[in-house]
Structure 1
Amino acid sequence: MQFDRASVDEVLVEAGSLGLISEVERSEILSVLTPEFPYADALKYTDSVHAHIKVEDVDQLPHAQLKELGYRAENAEPGYIKYSTDAAINLIFSSIPIAKDDQVSGAVTLPKPFMDHVGIDMRDEATATYEAFEKVPDRAAELGWREVPQGGATAPVHCCHTQVKSKHWVYPPEDWKGWRRPIEFAFGTLVVFDKQMGCDLRPMDPAHPLAQSESCCGAPATDQASGCAG
């Protein structure tokens, strides 16, 4: 897909004016839409991108202002809401656990609000899209990034009351300039259910010093106190 970078930036500027994203995060998101993006080939097969932002309380977000800007509330759950926009950049906010990091004491040190990750939404299930998606691990290895897969043909990835077929999560090396947050590549049609289907939390960066702690490696959370990493 060809993204209108100016339209995406307009959304990010508006979100920034509401105190929801920082200038560093805005720069990171915009860098996804440049030819220099390390995974630029995947963008040809991407329907939208999203920024998942952790906040103290979803109920306290400036919902009226977001809606006045023309953003559409979707997939709302307690402590979780997605706002879609006409610029093919979606803003997701959560105040519940959406990552393994959230389950490990001391693992999360950034003050809220902060961007947990950027998502690359590869919804089309055509062969070419799947092949581009499956090139992500090799590209990550080539770049020296860490990669963690989720889901697959027989085990889709659930997020609250939605699912996709599979995901690749990539994490930049410590010396990478211009990027600091994980990137999610999600393959497959977004299926929305009428009820919560459990949740596969975002994997912790394998290089995190607390990644091997017992609480990090437990079973996926499935109760309503848990969120999702979409």
Structure 2
Amino acid sequence: MDLARSEAESVLTEVENLGLINAAERAEVLSTMDADFPFAEAVRHTDSVHAHIKVDDVDTLPHQELAVLGYRPENAEPGYIKYSTDAGVHFIFSSIPIAQDDGIRGAVTLAKPFLDHVGVDMRDEAPATREAFDAVVGRAVELGWREVTQSGPVHCCHTQVQEKHWTYPPADWPGRRRPIEFAFGSLRIFDKVMGCDLRPIDPAHELAPPEPGCCGSAQPGGPDGTPGEDC
């Protein structure tokens, strides 16, 4: 999919003007569409990208302003809502645990709202897309990034994808960088809660457990039983 950078910049600026992301986060999401983006080959097989933003309370978001801008609410659950746009950039807002970091005391130090991660949605299951998805692991090694794979199926409350790669940049990588999620496979939506596989903590984090890849929760919705979706 060809993502229109100018349209993406427009919607990201609108969300920044609402105080939901800052300038550095806007630039970070937008950089996924740059020719020199470290994982540009994967983005060439992308249906969309999303910014997952942690907020204090989803209910107090400027929902009316987002609707006026033409953003469409989807998959809304308590503590979670996704807004889709026509620019190929979508926004997920959550105030529930969606990351392994959320259950580790002292691991989360950023003030809300903040960008939890950027997602690259590789929905097309064609062989070329699968090849580009699989190549993320080797590309991460080449770049000196850390990587954690979640083998499928990967569940997020009512949804499922086949597999995910999570990448984390080295400390000296230029510019601010949050984790980047690569999700392969069509998004399946169920009528009932299927569980939530939390975003893995950066393996280099000083509070990371010995097995950072073991991040799935057997309880629907995460460690405190609250629902999550399309994480």
**Alignment deviations for residues 60-117 of structure 1 (CA, whole Å, 9 cap, x no partner):** 0000110111000001111000000000100000000000000000000000000000
Inter-CA distance 135–217: structure 2 relative to 1 (3 Å threshold):
closer
Give the residue type in structure 2 aligned to 1:227. Answer: G
Residue aligning to 1:227: 228
Whether the 8 Å CA contact 2:155–2:161 is kept in 1: the answer is: yes
Shift of 1:2: 1.1
Inter-CA distance 33–218: structure 2 relative to 1 (3 Å threshold):
closer
Residue aligning to 1:117: 117
Inter-CA distance 42–95: structure 2 relative to 1 (3 Å threshold):
same
What is the TM-score with the length of structure 2 in the denominator?
0.94
Residue aligning to 2:26: 26
Between Structure 1 and Structure 2, how many residues are aligned? 227
Whether the 8 Å CA contact 2:159–2:194 is kept in 1: the answer is: yes
- Pair 1:197-2:215 in alignment: no
Give the residue type in structure 2 aligned to 1:143. Answer: L
Residue aligning to 2:128: 128
> Where does structure 1 lack aligned partners over 5 or more consecutive residues?
none
- Correspondence 1:83-122 to 2 at 5 A: 83-122=83-122
- Pair 1:181-2:207 in alignment: no
Of 160, 174, 179, 1:163 maps to: 160
**Alignment deviations for residues 145-164 of structure 1 (CA, whole Å, 9 cap, x no partner):** 00000123xxx001110110
Shift of 1:180: 1.9
Shift of 1:138: 0.2
1 CA distance for matches of 2:147 and 2:59? 33
1 CA distance for matches of 2:17 and 2:105? 31
Whether the 8 Å CA contact 1:201–1:229 is kept in 2: the answer is: no
Provide runs of 4+ in structure 1 moved above 4 Å: 213-219
- Pair 1:72-2:69 in alignment: no
What is the TM-score with the length of structure 1 in the denominator?
0.95
Shift of 1:178: 1.6
Whether the 8 Å CA contact 1:53–1:91 is kept in 2: the answer is: yes
Inter-CA distance 135–112: structure 2 relative to 1 (3 Å threshold):
same
Inter-CA distance 6–199: structure 2 relative to 1 (3 Å threshold):
same
> Where does structure 2 lack aligned partners over 5 or more consecutive residues?
none
Give the residue type in structure 2 aligned to 1:88. Answer: G
2 CA distance for matches of 1:85 and 1:23? 20
